[in-house]
Amino acid sequence: MWTGSNPVVSDLCSAVVSAAVIFAFLQLWKETAKHGLDQKLNRKLVHISIGLVFMLCWPIFSSGHRGALFAAFTPGVNIIRMLLIGSGMWKDEATVKSMSRFGDRRELLRGPLYYALTITGACAIYWRTSPVAIAAICNLCAGDGVADIVGRRFGRQKIPYNKNKSIAGSVAMALAGFLASVGFMCYFASFGYVEKSWEMLLGFLVVSLASAFVESLPITSILIFGQFMLNVLCVRSVDGQKLECTDTSYEPHGLTSEKGQLPELSPHLISAELSACTGSCSLILWTRNSW
């Protein structure tokens, strides 16, 4: 992007710009949390915006693996922030309030940390030429975030096989994840990174529906953790390349806690971040010969 400069320096400048944009958004949500915005809503606005805004910055980096690694620097720094704040080594109450469910700093070592790990992995491994990265991040950010917001407000009618989930939330997740994926397909296609096709569109639909379905299942926390530990088992070949789908996203929903205690895991609720990885796996399997 930075005409006339050294390629490495150009990517370094892009990383600085990308980091500045992301941390500006983080600061915005910290301020909204300070000024009394509902904590659950604020947390989901962080969840939705950060990953999608980060993807908007990808075109300013160079093509190839170097650009992907420089881009992954921004969420990589956020991984370090989550570790430092979550462990108590760095005091930042505003960040804790904007990203946690119950105001416990240790929550940042769960969902927010795995969120950053997932986005970092999708960026560094798949990058902007891969619909897998688009589908994973869009379902993780837009799908999960919108599902929670819609489900809390309009989720009166529950799913028959899981009373903790609503039909409205699941429909919103599938729709938001799909529309965001299509939007980023068009966005990256305008730069020539991907080629728009009906096959890709159908692939995104399969991913979003699979993500919403898996998110709705009453799978126990133990099974989710087992999936997390066995993440490396999902490896398939796409266009002659070995792609590894790693589930680094384990965040229990519907936690309960007492004052001063870290929330305990509820045994019949599934992480929506897990569903994003599952959807990505479905995408790899379904499109291994198409993409």
- Tokens at 184, concatenated: 């980023």
Q: Which tens digits make up the pLDDT trace of 128-180?
A: 988 989 998 999 889 888 988 898 888 788 888 888 888 998 999 999 999 99
Rounded to the nearest integer, the mean pLDDT of the chain is 75
Number of independent structural domains in the chain: 2
Residues 49, 183: one domain? no
Query: What pLDDT score was predicted for residue 5?
Result: 63
Residues 120, 103: one domain? yes
Q: Say if residue 189's pLDDT is above 90.
A: yes
Boundary residue ending a domain (128, 146, 173): 128
Residues 72, 85: one domain? yes
Where is average pLDDT lowest: 93-97, 176-180, 252-256?
252-256
Q: Which tens digits make up the pLDDT trace of 24-72?
A: 888 888 788 777 777 778 888 888 888 899 999 999 998 888 899 999 9
Residues 113, 140: one domain? no
Residues 117, 209: one domain? no
Residues 135, 273: one domain? yes
Residues 67, 154: one domain? no
Residues 87, 163: one domain? no
pTM for this predicted structure: 0.70
Residue range 269-283: mean pLDDT, rounded: 46
Check if the beta carbon of residue 198 is closer than 8 Å to that of residue 209: no
Range of the domain at 101: 1-128
Residues 112, 146: one domain? no
Residues 142, 108: one domain? no
Residues 141, 29: one domain? no
Cα–Cα distance measured from residue 118 to residue 273, given in angstroms and rounded to the nearest whole number: 9
Boundary residue ending a domain (105, 128, 151): 128
* Phi (first) and psi of residue 243, to 5 degrees: -115, 135
Boundary residue ending a domain (128, 156, 185): 128
At 4, the amino acid letter reads G
Residues 35, 95: one domain? yes
Cα–Cα distance measured from residue 167 to residue 235, given in angstroms and rounded to the nearest whole number: 32
